[in-house]
Structure 1
Amino acid sequence: MLMHDEQVDPRAQRRSGGHSTTPVPADLATSPFRVDRDRVASSPFFARLAGVTQVVSSTGSGLLVHNRLTHSLKVAQAARAIAERLSARPELVSVLDKLGGCDPDVVEAAALAHDLGHPPFGHLGEQVLDRLARHRFGLSDGFEGNAQSFRIITTTDVRGPAALGLDLTVAVRAATLKYPWTRLAFPTPHPRDLAAPPRGAAEPPDAPGTGSSKFSAYVTELPDVLGAREFFAGRLEPWQQTVEASVMDTADDIAYAIHDLEDFHRVGVLQHATVSAELGTWLDQALELASLDAADLRAQERRPGRSLEMLRRRLHAKDSWAVDDEAFAAAVAKVRAELVDGLLAVPFDGSVEAEQAVAGFSSRWTRRLVDAVGVIEEPSTRSGHVVLAPRQWHEVQVLKFVHRRFVLLRPDLALHQRGQARLLTALVEALEQWVTDRHEANRLPRRLHDLVELAGDEYAELARTEPSALVGATGDVPSGPDAVRALARGRAVVDFIASLTDNQAAALLEALSGRTGQLWTDAFVL
């Protein structure tokens, strides 16, 4: 039994203000951070990730590929391993304590939660919903998957004790803030105005004035950000990740760099000849390519080696604090030896030998990268406190390059994604029409109805206390209750669509468009 408030770990304080030691019948664990991990894993938002695209849909590939759920599990596995290694190093104990702590349960919970807000169709869905949220609905925040994840755990998930978020602890909420700022205003000064903005804080070069390209909270959740970050004031800069968030972020990079390459080797997309030509040409002609001016390099972009040289130059421009040409060349050679001349040398045919080759590649690289993580007490603004060793950092950049150059930029994937973008756009339009139809107000899907009411309360409060936070794409402050209600309806539609799986989104549009005669379906729950 608690005798004094000061005995309570401030990192374990819950969003509701209650003590983490207060028992809740539904919780099985005794550790407050383990409770948080269990609450995230039990959330329906977590379960839906099995039906959300990582890069391509498993139903479209014909083979088993990662989805957002399996990705989150692998990030959690790597994050916990990193936290355990760091916590076990005696020379880091005082540093980690000074910076606010590094608990394996906290980083595991945050890793499981980090993708809860990803909408149908992965990053493509994120871009479409952001465009529609800003330009169709006038929402200053638009849409961002990380901010949506934070909104889920603090606000829209109803499986917590009070049916408002999951009532997680301070440490876990702070650890989910990969980009601990809002799009436009918080903190002051905003990190996008720093000489070298943190990763994600800069504005998109093709969209000046729109705010940070990445951020982890909407204005509606700003009080939750302040509550989660209060413990870390004086330990970290307002725009810096907590150590636990930095662990999660690093683990996300590791998992992404490895398992997507596995997937596209399995489905035959990563071809030995093209990847080998790119890496081999750059290694053979590095000095010649380095001497090309930028215009000539862009003109020759489709020729082998040129895209890799462009990556080297981008790293110098953005991450001069970390990039080293010798380490970059060593990383290219390492990836060529292990990925090109190793894994890709023999096409995947589903045999035991092929499965073991994939498993061996994955385990070797995951262990190599996890073992190379360290802590910097005073990092660059472009880095968190938790970093990969220089050699491994360069290797991750090259692995991610291979994925982007030979998978994400494929025309056939772009064709597929354009269809998904049209689907989401049509779904937003159809649901907006339904929400604004006063004759059908009492027949809205109950979940959508509840989200409209929730957002209505939030935006009415913002209009009363901080109307400048509601300035949209036009630059005008919404005037009158009708304008504020329109913003709330837009946020509710976006919240609703972001909570669907790929198949649910497609099935819902089929029903709304009248193209299906099936009345009862398990494809979506209304």
Structure 2
Amino acid sequence: MTDQVDPREERRSEQVAGPAAGDLAASPFRVDRDRIVASPFFARLGGVTQVVSASGSGLLHNRLTHSLKVAQVARAIAERLLADPVFVPMLDKLGGCDPDVVEAAGLAHDLGHPPFGHLGEQVLDRLARHRFGLPDGFEGNAQSLRIVTTTETGGPGAVGLDLTAAVRAAMLKYPWTRLTHPDPHPRHLATPPRGASAPADEPGTGSTKFSVYVTELDDMAQARAPFAGRLASWQQTVEASVMDLADDIAYAIHDLEDFHRIGVLQHAPVAAELGHWLGNALELAALDDADLAARARRPGYSLEQLRRRMHRRDAWVVDDDAFVAAVTRVRTELVDGLLGSPFDGSVEAEQAVAGFSSGWTVRLVDGMTVVLDPPVRSGHVLLAPAQWHEVQVLKFVHRRFVLLRPDLALHQRGQATLVTSLVEALAQWLTDRHEANRLPRRLQDLVELSETEYRALAATDMSTLVEALGEAPDREHGIRELARGRAVVDFVASLTDSQAATLLDALTGRSSQPWSDAFVL
């Protein structure tokens, strides 16, 4: 008589008898962690931008250091929740919360991020949809799942990493496709989950965020099968919720730390924004939206816009008293504390950064709770209201005083041009019949993989694929075109920042080197 296998431990290959050859750990979830860390897709994150290119300075986070911190915070959250006897039966009822699972998901969550961070993601999505006609475009979260299930070759079967169902499900921040699954699609709910609505500037294009392409629908179904009857089809698993919150915490804290270190985040403008709002909150609240938008560059006005957005989107938690308290705390600890003295590399400055980072991390991790029936825009694990408001204010400071800087926009426009040119050059190379035998082998493999996937989808008459192919008489040609587009996108998304730049130099004749380690693709 065989022991009953925990369905959370089932792998895509249905191999459940224990670790495969080469696995060091006995725990299946530790095996997953080890496989992710050993992946070249994980190693490449050290060369991928978090917000701006680190350029080897060691001062800025890259996607690798960010992922390590997300995994660290996620594990800490899980361990704290499991230490509370009130939460344990709730976690069990919802499908479980294993620290190894959330750590593995934290390590894997950004594997799909392309060169140049979110900027590269936006460019590849636009090109995937408009240049190649791929209905589900490109999304970093969906690309991460595609890597661990499909394009990575380091697993036992050379198809993905063959991770357990629990870890794959924990990677699904947004457990839906862009357009079609599940049915009904969550963007059609009266109150859509966070990320499920269409972009405001592109209505009708499907969800802004999603974690699954149509080519990986079977993987999502198998990964979420152990949670059937416990969660709605669009809800995160508990472990995905923990990973998502850990990502938010790392983003809110560590990016501010980075830009303080290099002198971008300045005391005076942040102090003016927060201080003016605190001193004039009632007057600002009396302005209509048009007046507020017209004066958005004045101190305090952008923060008032944030308060109003929070009321529109998150009425389930927003509270004006909590918002005032959050702005006050951020002013005290960030503005008067961390930014009060410029970073000069001294022991005192390093201790100030470490104290800010650790203090906020502990406060936010300790603010976690579990609910069985959460609001639609939240997971089953959520921050207490005070900490939730503080995260919104910290993220506001990052966006207002870093992401919206004109000098960063100038830099990113150049990167967007680079990615666009690289995609076009590779697409042209793919259609050059005289060069078919000299394509990068990895790109050839990706074309063959995508053709197999799209043929299988066409055989099932899946609506999104039929829509992409249209009623063209040559359906086979349409499949080949989709496959080439997905292969180019997969290929470019797997590059580091410097690989992308070096490859474009070679393709445009600007490089004098016939080959280089940057071309080991």
Instruction: Tell me which interval the TM-score lies in, with the shorter structure as reference length.
Output: over 0.9
CA distance in 1, matches of 2:19, 2:267: 56
Query: Is 1:9 the equivalent of 2:6?
Result: yes
CA drift at 1:467 = 4.2
Query: Is 1:371 the equivalent of 2:371?
Result: no
CA drift at 1:466 = 2.3
CA drift at 1:23 = 3.2
Aligned to 1:37: 33
491-500 vs 514-523, greater mean Cα deviation: 514-523
Aligned to 1:518: 513
Call closer, same or farther: CA 1:107–1:439 in 2, change over 3 Å: same
Aligned to 2:50: 54
Q: How does 1:479-498 map to 2 (within 5 A)?
A: 479-498=474-493
CA drift at 1:59 = 1.2
Partners of 2:273 and 2:303 within 8 A in 1: yes
Deviations 1:294-333 (A, max 9, x none): 0100011010000000000000000000100000000000
Q: Amino acid of the residue matched to residue 29 of structure 1?
A: A
Query: Is 1:390 the equivalent of 2:385?
Result: yes
Q: TM-score, normalised by structure 2?
A: 0.98
Aligned to 2:443: 448
CA distance in 1, matches of 2:261, 2:88: 42
CA drift at 1:232 = 0.8
Call closer, same or farther: CA 1:476–1:315 in 2, change over 3 Å: farther
Which runs of 5 or more structure 1 residues have no equivalent in the other structure?
A: none
Q: How does 1:90-129 map to 2 (within 5 A)?
A: 90-129=85-124
Partners of 1:111 and 1:248 within 8 A in 2: yes
CA drift at 1:22 = 2.6
CA distance in 1, matches of 2:177, 2:468: 16
CA drift at 1:479 = 4.8
Partners of 1:11 and 1:169 within 8 A in 2: yes
Q: How many residues align?
A: 521
Aligned to 1:244: 239
CA distance in 1, matches of 2:459, 2:6: 35
Deviations 1:415-459 (A, max 9, x none): 000000000000000000111111111111011110000001001
Query: Is 1:433 the equivalent of 2:428?
Result: yes
Call closer, same or farther: CA 1:132–1:165 in 2, change over 3 Å: same
Query: Is 1:287 the equivalent of 2:298?
Result: no
Partners of 2:19 and 2:25 within 8 A in 1: no
Aligned to 1:27: 23
Aligned to 1:164: 159
SS at match of 2:483: helix
Aligned to 1:341: 336
Deviations 1:128-187 (A, max 9, x none): 000000000000010000000000000000000000000000100100000000000000
Which runs of 5 or more structure 2 residues have no equivalent in the other structure?
A: none
CA distance in 1, matches of 2:292, 2:471: 43
CA distance in 1, matches of 2:383, 2:467: 39
CA distance in 1, matches of 2:261, 2:349: 9
SS at match of 1:422: helix
Partners of 2:458 and 2:466 within 8 A in 1: no
Query: Is 1:147 the equivalent of 2:130?
Result: no
Aligned to 1:310: 305
1:136 to 131, 134, 146: 131
Partners of 2:134 and 2:485 within 8 A in 1: yes
Call closer, same or farther: CA 1:522–1:81 in 2, change over 3 Å: same
CA distance in 2, matches of 1:214, 1:478: 33
SS at match of 2:510: coil
Deviations 1:256-283 (A, max 9, x none): 0000000000110111000000000000
Q: How does 1:204-353 map to 2 (within 5 A)?
A: 204-353=199-348
1:417 to 412, 416, 425: 412
SS at match of 1:7: coil
Aligned to 1:76: 71
Deviations 1:12-67 (A, max 9, x none): 01111111x3331210000000000111111100000000000000118x552000
Call closer, same or farther: CA 1:149–1:478 in 2, change over 3 Å: farther
Call closer, same or farther: CA 1:281–1:474 in 2, change over 3 Å: farther
Partners of 1:467 and 1:477 within 8 A in 2: no
Overall identity of the aligned pairs, in %: 75
Partners of 2:172 and 2:236 within 8 A in 1: yes
Aligned to 2:184: 189
CA distance in 2, matches of 1:32, 1:44: 21
Call closer, same or farther: CA 1:270–1:472 in 2, change over 3 Å: farther
Partners of 2:18 and 2:26 within 8 A in 1: no
Q: Amino acid of the residue matched to residue 391 of structure 1?
A: A
Partners of 1:374 and 1:386 within 8 A in 2: yes
